[in-house]
């Protein structure tokens, strides 16, 4: 057999992906500044010029998380690796962890606890509802030997936000550490890691940070650093052991793994853009675009899954109108308009759509384009639609909600 025969289906000589508009649950659009930063010359991961950039990157990350935690750095891996890093380092065999589960990602936390030898005490809430602090307190009372409370701040599978400050206060009252998932909230809605007293937090590059997927910003309090230093058993994962990673991301700069240098230029640029815009401005922008999209969707009779006070502005989960083939709508948006929106996951599969307005995807042009494209597709599929009404409603909402920051 010739060597080429091992790759018989080869047909692409150069890969040019189409330019989509990404308005699903992530990834969201990458900002051109970030793409451009990533195309700059590759440096060695121990090059002093690169390590200077790493220091600034950590500092920009502290700004985004609103923390002074020294141990704040990007994990080389997607959000799921950041998640696993928190659990694998903080759990020793037999440790009890209260896990709040109100969607897909809370379910993954349970998996993490169990796979790392912990005992998960599950606090379930209905999909589309926030974590109920009363249930968490009941679980803490019943399980006074619990060590950690873990919860998802912004549950991307349902579009709901939970009250992080209240959950963190509760955990403290019962002597527990906290692990919080901020993959979808970082940059999109307010996060105060120090203000809320969160111990371990992880996020992702591809949601509200306008960066491609593949990196996970994490941050750990002194309490976590001490816990990990004083573990009885070695951390089960070599790659994710914080004690070893500190050799690279800490002060000594010794080789641990080859950091994805160009990807890190991209994250640096994305966080720089967030810093230049200002967190408050970014949060307000996400909220404003959400309000306009909502006004437009309402003209189409489309209803939200989540009650108003708990809605995530960056992830609009809505019920598919009765009688509409939801898959066909998504297919047409992609084929005819280059627009990606998200389907429902798990219990919500086939029942909801998820419109993401995250990072650089959260802008006026996208809201208007999305509403118009949706009107065209729905009208074409036989739904009664007043063409143009959604855009008019969006513009009225923009006019009534000027950016004041």
Ligand X SMILES: *Cc1c(COP(=O)(O)O)cnc(C)c1O
Q: Give the interface with ligand X as residue ranges (CB under 6 A).
A: 26, 78-80, 83, 105, 152, 156, 181, 183-184, 204, 213
Residues with Cβ within 8 Å of residue 316, at least 6 apart in sequence: 159, 290, 293, 294, 297, 304, 354, 355, 356, 357
R_g over Cα of the chain: 22
Closest approach of ligand X to the CB of residue 105, in Å: 4
88 and 237 Cβ atoms separated by less than 8 Å: yes
Residue among 105 and 265 whose Cβ is closer to ligand X: 105
Round to whole Å and give the CA distance between 354 and 107.
Answer: 19
Closest approach of ligand X to the CB of residue 191, in Å: 13
Round to whole Å and give the CA distance between 292 and 400.
Answer: 10
Closest approach of ligand X to the CB of residue 47, in Å: 27
Residue nearest to ligand X (CB): 79
Residue among 74 and 79 whose Cβ is closer to ligand X: 79
Residue among 81 and 148 whose Cβ is closer to ligand X: 81
Residue among 83 and 170 whose Cβ is closer to ligand X: 83
Residue among 80 and 143 whose Cβ is closer to ligand X: 80
Round to whole Å and give the CA distance between 99 and 112.
Answer: 10
Residue among 54 and 209 whose Cβ is closer to ligand X: 209
End-to-end CA distance of the chain: give it in Å, rounded.
Answer: 66
Closest approach of ligand X to the CB of residue 20, in Å: 18
Return the structure tokens found at 361: 């995807």
Among 191, 214, 208, 171, CA closest to 79: 214
Closest approach of ligand X to the CB of residue 155, in Å: 6
Counting every residue, how long is the chain?
Answer: 405
Closest approach of ligand X to the CB of residue 125, in Å: 15
Instruction: Find residue 15's DSSP bridge partners.
Output: none
């Amino acid at each position: 057999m010739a060597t080429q025969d091992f790759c018989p289906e080869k047909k692409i000589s150069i890969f040019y992906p189409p330019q989509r508009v990404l308005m699903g649950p992530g990834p969201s659009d990458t900002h051109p500044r970030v793409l451009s930063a990533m195309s700059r010359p590759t440096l060695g991961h121990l090059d002093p010029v690169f390590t200077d950039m790493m220091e600034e990157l950590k500092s920009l990350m502290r700004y985004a998380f609103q923390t002074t935690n020294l141990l704040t750095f990007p994990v080389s891996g997607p959000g799921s690796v950041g998640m696993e890093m928190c659990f694998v380092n903080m759990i020793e065999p037999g440790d009890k962890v209260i896990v709040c589960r109100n969607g897909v990602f809370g379910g993954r936390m349970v998996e993490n606890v169990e796979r790392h030898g912990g005992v998960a005490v599950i606090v379930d809430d209905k999909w589309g509802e926030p974590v109920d602090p009363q249930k968490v307190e009941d679980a803490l009372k019943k399980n006074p030997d619990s060590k950690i409370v873990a919860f998802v701040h912004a549950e991307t599978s349902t579009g709901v936000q939970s009250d992080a400050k209240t959950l963190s206060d509760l955990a403290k009252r019962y002597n527990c550490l906290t692990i919080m998932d901020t993959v979808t909230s970082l940059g999109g809605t307010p996060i105060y890691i120090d203000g809320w007293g969160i111990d371990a937090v992880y996020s992702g590059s591809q949601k509200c940070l306008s960066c491609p997927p593949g990196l996970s910003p994490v941050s750990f309090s002194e309490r976590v650093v001490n816990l990990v230093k004083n573990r009885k058993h070695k951390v089960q994962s070599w790659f994710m052991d914080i004690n070893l990673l500190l050799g690279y991301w800490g002060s000594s700069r010794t080789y641990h793994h080859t950091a994805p240098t160009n990807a890190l230029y991209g994250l640096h640029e994305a966080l720089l853009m967030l810093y230049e815009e200002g967190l408050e401005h970014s949060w307000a922008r996400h909220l404003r675009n959400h309000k306009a999209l909502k006004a437009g969707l309402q003209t189409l009779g489309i209803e939200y899954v989540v009650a108003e006070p708990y809605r995530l502005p960056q992830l609009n989960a809505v019920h598919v109108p009765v009688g509409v083939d939801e898959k066909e709508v998504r297919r047409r948006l992609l084929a005819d308009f280059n627009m990606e929106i998200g389907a429902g996951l798990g219990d919500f599969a086939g029942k909801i759509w998820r419109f993401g307005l995250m990072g650089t995807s959260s802008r006026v042009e996208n809201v208007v384009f999305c509403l118009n494209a949706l009107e065209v597709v729905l009208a074409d599929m036989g739904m009664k639609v007043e063409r143009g009404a959604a855009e008019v409603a969006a513009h009225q909402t923009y006019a009534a909600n000027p950016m004041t920051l």
